[in-house]
A and B are shown apart, each in its own frame.
Chain A
């Protein structure tokens, strides 16, 4: 098949001769483009064509019911379809630390813009107020205190935030899942270190901007 010819890698001994980089950005894009566009129609797959199937003998096709128009608006997927599609599952080959450094840079600019300058004269309370509603995707988090001692000291870039867990990528290219309950995180921006008490942060990332925080109870760690 032609697909196999296209996806054949260049042999090792020819790489230096041809001067082709093995892992370039353009190469990655080309591979992604080919993967997404060379999908074959399942009906034309030779294996399915050769399987024995019962032929339905029908004198004519049933007419399409034109009274039932499908609505143009897309319905979102339900939870079962999302689980089947693995909507938010990260593949292990995409978990590389250096891929997320630009995201961290973007986040730093965003926070500095949010606190309009973040000069040392800023009152800490003002910055904390802003950070309550801010987005933490791309921040470098460090676990300062936790009830479970093995979590303490884990550092990495936050990739996904769910209701009860943070997913961070460490410098060793490992994806770590850290529960928010009973642990304290530290975020560092321009020498300004802010602590996040995870027990109070148990909301979804999208609900945090809408909900009000209630000062209730104390944190004993």
Chain B
């Protein structure tokens, strides 16, 4: 219990830095440098304290230059096809030209969404009810919850 309380401050700090980057970028869309500074600070803290961040958060940060990826402002978002039945979302950072490719598949599940990842509460496995992850950007005012417990569809049978 004490270990969980010890990390609470760090998680709050990560959350604040993430929101601060969004806040700065919404005030002035060309102030990429400051948002990048906050995000790189966030990344360094998470690395020093070995904290796991949710994939939805990590998908909005550029891996190369640590800038915040907001589609249309600092990143371009495109749908590409590699093969006949696989489509990808390609998010490209406009400042360093690095792109990340995310698979669009309705049945694709990340590890954090799997029922066996939730150790806190024992869940009955319900196959076929997977939440489709869309890498859509949340607005600045929606505070991103930093805990690794994404909201599952609880009403599924």
Contacts and interface: CB of A to CB of B under 8 A. Distances in A.
B45 A206 contact: yes
B24 A36 contact: no
B27 A29 contact: no
Interface residues of B, number: 39
Contacts of A114: 9, 12
Interface residues of A, number: 44
Contacts of B12: 110, 113-114
Given A76-B64, A134-B13, A102 B73 contact: no
A207 B48 contact: yes
A121 B96 CA distance: 50
Interface string B1-35: 00000000110110011011001100111110110
A85 interface: yes
A160 B41 CA distance: 10
Interface in B96-126: 96, 98
Interface in A124-142: 130, 133-135, 137-138
B37 interface: yes
Given A32-B73, A135-B17, A88 B49 contact: no
Given A99-B31, A100-B27, 15 more contacts: A31-B30, A33-B29, A74-B64, A75-B64, A77-B96, A87-B37, A89-B33, A99-B28, A102-B23, A103-B23, A137-B20, A159-B34, A209-B9, A209-B13, A209-B45
Interface of B: 9-10, 12-13, 16-17, 19-20, 23-24, 27-31, 33-34, 36-38, 40-41, 44-45, 48-49, 62-66, 72-74, 76, 94-96, 98
Interface of A: 28-29, 31-33, 35-37, 73-77, 85-91, 94, 99-100, 102-103, 106-107, 110, 113-114, 130, 133-135, 137-138, 159-160, 204-207, 209-210
24 contacts: A29-B73, A32-B29, A32-B30, A37-B94, A74-B63, A74-B98, A75-B64, A76-B66, A90-B33, A91-B33, A94-B34, A99-B28, A99-B31, A103-B23, A107-B20, A110-B12, A110-B16, A133-B9, A133-B10, A134-B9, A135-B16, A137-B38, A209-B10, A210-B49
